[in-house]
Structure 1
């Protein structure tokens, strides 16, 4: 008897998790990955990036992250981990396969690739993440600014900014990490809407992720989490807090406008600035689903906890706060994958029986 085929769009951590969960729930997965290998966007992240979770909390079920406890993996170590996991899974992974459109009908989904090839399946998971769609807020005067503007997704290392005046917009982990390393070579400020809040990386001798796991915070639904935690605190061993305290890095209220050569601060002061880096998050990037009417007017997927509300055999993985604090992280994506593929399998059985 033929196993139903699950088409997974995207071969990063979310796509690999979807393939594993799909196999466990009776599907034959095929992963369509646009890049040259199934490692997602990790090779494109900035050079100094390290995970905020130690290796013992960053592995997948049955496939631990190598390295000693307490080690915070580098970007390249994550790439190696995903590469190894993809091989270990042993599923059909087709690299260089960019999906440009999806059609649904007669109980199937058909993906059209950039080269015109068609790949059909009985169900689909959109797992392309959001790295390709960095969010840049609309700010007055941005068209007149003559300096450099980029999203943190395009940032690699601080050397090219040496000696410059740089503003990093954002108050989250990436903004502070990038701002701190830029401050070693450039005059750097963090532009924030609310002052940065820190959370100790280690409490009572244990990494904070031990407590998130032990106390169940990592699994709380967003509706509950929002009543407990407001915003995303920056994990810190004390380095970042000390840099702000001594003036090596400063934070200022978000500037109100760009000028032709800089920015205007809330008190009306104009300052010359060479570069502005926005660490303002990402948005889902799902243009290939537009013809399905599966997205709302802003391009966000219509879903409930990762299962489409427009197409029962369509699922999503890698969305921020999809089901929990850890939904789009290495440590949490497999839990979401299990839920999404389990729900889709149940729905599929109902449809076939009906």
Structure 2
């Protein structure tokens, strides 16, 4: 059984940001990535996807994304960037390694097991597997006989059956998928609460520049401004508000409330028989692989303060709203990782474990 200082679970942007800092600190570590190649989780996402932050706000610390800083990287470009980042900083990513259990033994060390690797004993573990794991679907989805797809399962749109497409959820991904599909098929989008998108540019500057320089994007999660930011959940309007979608030929429907066979019912009493449904409501995390006393609450949610668990030696990175709005976005990954790794290294010095 291999003994390491740190295991990082997850090889996406949060795991790589933490991995780079741990490499520079001289720790013995492994970054366990379930993907076959670094960046593959991005490569598999739907065609036409671009990040909604410009390149200058989509890079990890120490390495810019090539190209126009004000332009938006597409999914494959960003996947290649992550792969290059791991190579540039010699981060020991172990690909094809799916973590199924993190436990703590009687000595206080962590035992990490899974598929594709032998069990590892580590003094500290950073969970960077992301807060977006399982797509949210209503209970009636199980009895609906219409072909259904989650946004992160779409890949090539050509696999969708011909005919009307119903997108359920009007966040950034839902609106994006609807807009990308409307040139090829009838598209309807089921909306929830009213959402106001912010301008892509204000006085010639990117929305993200303003959120950055005003400090709004880094307003602490529990602060008044942080709570307001979370309620608004801003993303830029790149021809994605409801008026734009309607002008493009997309039909706006209210909340979908049920289905019988192939017929979907909406809150206004209308019905529809779509050829396929795309779920874009959101995601819920699954932390059941963390089998450590004191790490989870009674409902299976993680306990932490800014990524630091009450369990000594256990950390989290890349969580939505881990510290602020930037958390969960690439622009906040390096800052959040720095805080977590600093705490980890100070603990190691005090206990002489690294």
**Global fold match (TM > 0.5):** yes
How much has 1:351 moved relative to structure 2?
4.1
| Secondary structure class of the residue paired with 1:112 | strand
Please give the per-residue CA displacement for 1:291-328, whole angstroms capped at 9, x wherever unaligned: 5552234432111111112x121101111111111211
Map 1:203-222 onto structure 2 (within 5 A). 203-222=202-221
Q: Is the 8 A contact 1:180 1:243 kept in 2?
A: no
Q: Structure 1: which 5+ runs fail to align? A: none
Q: Is the 8 A contact 1:9 1:33 kept in 2?
A: yes
Residue 227 of structure 2: aligned partner:
226
CA distance in 2, matches of 1:44, 1:247: 26
* Gap change, CA 1:228 and 1:58, over 3 Å in 2: closer
How much has 1:89 moved relative to structure 2?
1.1
Q: Is the 8 A contact 2:4 2:120 kept in 1?
A: no
* Gap change, CA 1:346 and 1:219, over 3 Å in 2: same
How much has 1:26 moved relative to structure 2?
5.4
* Gap change, CA 1:278 and 1:207, over 3 Å in 2: same
Map 1:140-219 onto structure 2 (within 5 A). 142-161=141-160, 163-219=162-218
* Gap change, CA 1:116 and 1:178, over 3 Å in 2: closer
| Secondary structure class of the residue paired with 2:100 | strand
Question: When the two structures are aligned, how many residues end up with a matched partner?
Answer: 348
| Secondary structure class of the residue paired with 2:142 | coil
Q: Structure 2: which 5+ runs fail to align? A: none
How much has 1:200 moved relative to structure 2?
1.0
What is the root-mean-square deviation of aligned Cα atoms in Å? 2.4
How much has 1:107 moved relative to structure 2?
3.3
Please give the per-residue CA displacement for 1:72-127, whole angstroms capped at 9, x wherever unaligned: 10111001100100001113222222222222132321211325611121111011
CA distance in 2, matches of 1:175, 1:94: 33
Please give the per-residue CA displacement for 1:42-88, whole angstroms capped at 9, x wherever unaligned: 12211111011111121122211111222210111001100100001
* Gap change, CA 1:281 and 1:229, over 3 Å in 2: closer
* Gap change, CA 1:110 and 1:250, over 3 Å in 2: same
Residue 46 of structure 1: aligned partner:
46
Name the TM-score, length of structure 1 as normaliser.
Answer: 0.90
* Gap change, CA 1:318 and 1:66, over 3 Å in 2: same
Map 1:1-354 onto structure 2 (within 5 A). 5-25=5-25, 27-39=27-39, 41-105=41-105, 106-115=107-116, 117-139=118-140, 142-161=141-160, 163-224=162-223, 225-228=226-229, 230-238=231-239, 240-246=241-247, 248-290=249-291, 292=293, 294-309=295-310, 311-352=311-352
